[in-house]
Amino acid sequence: VHCTTSRSELRRPERCADVRKRNAPCSPTTITVVVINDVDEPPRAAWDNKVQFMLSIIGYSVGLGNIWRFPYLCQQNGGGAFLIPFGVMLVLEGIPLFLIELGMGQKMRLGALGVWNNVHPWLGGLGVASATVTFFVALYYNVIITWCIYYLFSSINYPLPWAECPKLNNTELPECEKASETAYFWYRTTLDISPSMDDSGGLKWWIVLCLFIAWVSVFFIVMKGIQSSGKVEKLYNPNVWLDAATQVFYSFGLAFGSLIAFGSYNPPKNNCVRDVILVSFCNALTAIYASLVVFAILGFKAMLSFDKCLAHNKELLDAMDPDKAKLIPEEMKHLIMGLEPVRANNLGFEVCDLSKNLDQAAEGTGLAFIVFAQAIVELPMSPFWSILFFTMLLSLGIGSQIGILEGMLCTIFDIDFFKRISKPYLTGEWEFDFFQNYFTLSKFAFASSSSKISGFSVSGVVCIVCFFMGLIFCTGAGQYWLGLFDSFAGTIGLVMIALLETIAVVFIYGHEKFTNDIYEMTGYRPGLYWQVTWRVIGPTIMTVILLSSIIAKIVQTPTYMAWDKDKGITVEMEYPGWVLGIALAIVLASVLPIIAIFLLRRFQILKFDVDIHQGAIRRIETTASTKEMIGDVDEDYDSNEDEDEEDDIACRLGVPGGKGPMGQNRGPGGPKGFKMEVMEF
């Protein structure tokens, strides 16, 4: 027989005498009890109003992933054909998972770690895995903000530094002439890129300085708060579908834990379904619109290169002896310049191919910077538009970065280890209590004057660690490292986390229970679309993509695009073996917490490791015959019969009675924090 008690059971001490008279002790067994901490937990923070929440979540979701990442993935995966898998994954995977994360956070009023511990203790690794992926993404995401800052500073000059090629002895540099002004500025001036990953090229001080500015900006904001013409055959490549799936995750910020944190600050009756549909529409529209703009400029840029090639060949023809020029009929000129590379090279002609110029116009992680820089040069008053554009990019990037850090810091503050460390040892704040009271981690986060840990110090430590680890992106090979992290840090790990989150809610928490939760909060009962995508289509698609992508990455040799300064273009190269070892470590670090915590709790090695705050508790070593999980903190407990039975158990255990129902057992600082422990009686 398992005897359990809970916080709601610690009530009405006057009944204990009657219970002891009945003398009905429990048999010796392992039981679960609630231990009330000796510190008060602050009440859960909330958004000031609906507009604040919508602006915050749209700012988080609609970010650089739409303008920077989506266009280069389109180009990499068949152009317009990429819209097919993206649209499929958006409708069948992204939107349903969006509602799961936002709804679970709003219902339980917890961060990612608390939510999945509350669903089942064995799932605690999901919160840790989300924080790990978030950490990796935050490392390189801020580098994109760094590039925006550098371009913003460069925009002060007139003319813009990428408007023309630098000259040596009144002659344009051959590398710039072969590439383009904007490509040369990106690869040689901004990045000073190295020829391969084996050559680091050393730190670039201007990038280090901009990275420092980026992390300082993020720190102060976090600290003070934030109130088919494409190639259709590409569709048969599993990596295309993996890119589409991960782009949906990036675009919405799914599986990072941030949406759960955002949802937890909503009032219980917020219409999260309407929020999901509105944000999804804005997100998809922004990504597609940005891609249309990018590819329109790409076509314009390719046409400029094509015209430049024709002009060069015309100069060669005009310089030839007129008698020899007559030997080349007009109808042969196009053939020589476009279709006969060998003969064209022998005669000194360039091969003018519009489709080739389109493919080589720009690609990779620098696509948006090269393309938009080219468009800005053609505008009148180009410095003004450049400052305006890169300020917009900077705002989008910082907004998304704050949301990313929100999920990671939420997990950090849920870990019991940090709650038990004395504040002076962790923060060094013996004499600086002013900062503890004035600065908080976030308006919606987890530090207050009563917390043992300063949000000021923890967010500062996180930003400092990320800055120093981000120095690897400030070398000559920095763009190659960013591409590596973008390909491995947030792909397989994100898909696995999303798959397990869906399984956890649908099959462990219960799809009917979650449906009822949504109905209670919004008045809308999710219908056939939601049920089918949650229970069948979503898990099936993610499982197929996950397995096929793992097989594809094992079978195929991963490559990256390196800059060839002699040709003025990017060339495909294979990753060195030692780099692939680092990539494997990144992937394992993203998924191992899920397995590790499952095994530790499955075999009772890890009894508990986190405080589950805000009224959600988990049970350890109980059976199916025990009482149901305690509900939401806002739920009223009116059943006198249940209270009597609970008081009986509390008195038998000798636990002192509480005061009123769980939702009312609060001290001056809010509800008590509590945790579960396993004891032998």
Residue 431, class by beta-carbon neighbours within 10 Å (0-12 exposed, 13-18 middle, 19+ buried)? exposed
- Whether 369 is covered by a domain: the verdict is no
SS3 681: coil
User: Is 94 within any annotated ligand binding site?
Assistant: no
pLDDT at 215: 92
Please choose, from the candidates 27, 109, 124, 127, the residue with its C-alpha nearest in 3D space to the C-alpha of residue 676: 124
CA distances (Å), origin 417, targets 421, 469, 608, 609 = 7, 24, 11, 7
- Whether 368 is covered by a domain: the verdict is no
- Whether 344 is covered by a domain: the verdict is yes
Question: Domain check: are 315 and 417 in the same one?
Answer: no
Question: Domain check: are 655 and 583 in the same one?
Answer: no
Instruction: Tell me which H or E stretch contains 206.
Output: helix 205-224
Highest mean pLDDT among 312-321, 589-598, 642-651: 589-598
pLDDT at 205: 93
User: Is 448 within any annotated ligand binding site?
Assistant: no
Neighbours of 501 (CB within 10 A): 26
Q: In angstroms, how far apart are the furthest CA atoms of the chain?
A: 123
Kindly report the average pLDDT of the chain as a whole number: 71
The residue type found at 607 is: K
Peptide bond into 43 cis (omega under 30): no
Q: Which of 547, 580, 602 is the last residue of a domain?
A: 602
Question: Domain check: are 106 and 149 in the same one?
Answer: yes
Query: Is residue 633 within 8 Å of 109, Cβ to Cβ?
Result: yes
Peptide bond into 159 cis (omega under 30): yes
Please choose, from the candidates 198, 172, 200, 196, the residue with its C-alpha nearest in 3D space to the C-alpha of residue 184: 172
Range with the poorest average pLDDT among 116-120, 373-377, 594-598, 634-638: 634-638
Question: Domain check: are 132 and 172 in the same one?
Answer: yes
- Whether 1 is covered by a domain: the verdict is no
Q: Rounded CA gap, 518 and 527, in Å? A: 11
User: Is 396 within any annotated ligand binding site?
Assistant: yes
Query: Is residue 257 within 8 Å of 411, Cβ to Cβ?
Result: yes
Q: Rounded CA gap, 357 and 420, in Å? A: 61
Q: Rounded CA gap, 494 and 245, in Å? A: 9
Q: Which two tokens stand for residue 64?
A: 């650089």
Question: Domain check: are 455 and 591 in the same one?
Answer: yes
Q: Rounded CA gap, 136 and 490, in Å? A: 8
- Residue 560 has φ and ψ, to the nearest 5°, of -140, 165
Residue 236, class by beta-carbon neighbours within 10 Å (0-12 exposed, 13-18 middle, 19+ buried)? exposed
Tally the C-alpha atoms within 13 A of residue 378's C-alpha that lie toward its C-beta.
9
Based on its alpha-carbon atoms, the radius of gyration of the chain, rounded to whole angstroms, reads: 30
User: Is 180 within any annotated ligand binding site?
Assistant: no
Q: Which of 602, 630, 658 is the last residue of a domain?
A: 602
Q: Which of 361, 394, 409 is the last residue of a domain?
A: 361
Query: Is residue 505 within 8 Å of 531, Cβ to Cβ?
Result: no
Q: Is residue 149 pLDDT above 90, yes or no? A: yes
Please choose, from the candidates 457, 109, 421, 139, the residue with its C-alpha nearest in 3D space to the C-alpha of residue 260: 109
- Residue 572 has φ and ψ, to the nearest 5°, of -80, 130
Q: Rounded CA gap, 36 and 672, in Å? A: 7
Determine the angle formed by the axes of helices 272-319 and 50-61, rounding to 10 degrees. Answer: 40
Nearest 10 degrees: CA dihedral of 276, 279, 281, 285?
-150
Q: Is residue 634 pLDDT above 60, yes or no? A: no
| Average pLDDT rounded to a whole number, residues 359-381 | 74
- Whether 444 is covered by a domain: the verdict is yes
Question: Domain check: are 668 and 567 in the same one?
Answer: no
Q: Rounded CA gap, 154 and 313, in Å? A: 34
> How confident is the model over 563-603, as pLDDT tens digits?
888 877 788 888 998 999 999 999 999 889 999 989 988 88
User: Is 667 within any annotated ligand binding site?
Assistant: no
Question: Domain check: are 555 and 514 in the same one?
Answer: yes
User: Is 346 within any annotated ligand binding site?
Assistant: no
Question: Domain check: are 308 and 289 in the same one?
Answer: no
Question: Domain check: are 199 and 324 in the same one?
Answer: no
- Whether 373 is covered by a domain: the verdict is no
544: pLDDT confidence band, cut at 50, 70 and 90? Answer: confident
Percent of the chain residues topping a pLDDT of 90: 14
pLDDT at 392: 87
Q: Rounded CA gap, 273 and 595, in Å? A: 32
Question: Domain check: are 658 and 539 in the same one?
Answer: no
- Whether 333 is covered by a domain: the verdict is yes
Per the model's pLDDT, the better-predicted residue between 284 and 36 turns out to be 284
> How confident is the model over 169-191, as pLDDT tens digits?
777 788 888 788 888 899 989 99
> Quick one: how far is CA 258 from the chain centroid?
8
- Whether 118 is covered by a domain: the verdict is yes
> How confident is the model over 428-466, as pLDDT tens digits?
333 333 333 333 333 333 333 334 444 457 788 888 999
Give the chain's domain count: 3
Per the structure, the complete domain to which residue 519 belongs is given by: 50-301+380-602
User: Is 196 within any annotated ligand binding site?
Assistant: no
Question: Domain check: are 464 and 592 in the same one?
Answer: yes
The residue type found at 119 is: V
Question: Domain check: are 215 and 287 in the same one?
Answer: yes
In this prediction the pTM is 0.71
260: pLDDT confidence band, cut at 50, 70 and 90? Answer: confident
Determine the angle formed by the axes of helices 238-252 and 272-319, rounding to 10 degrees. Answer: 120
Query: Is residue 151 within 8 Å of 190, Cβ to Cβ?
Result: yes
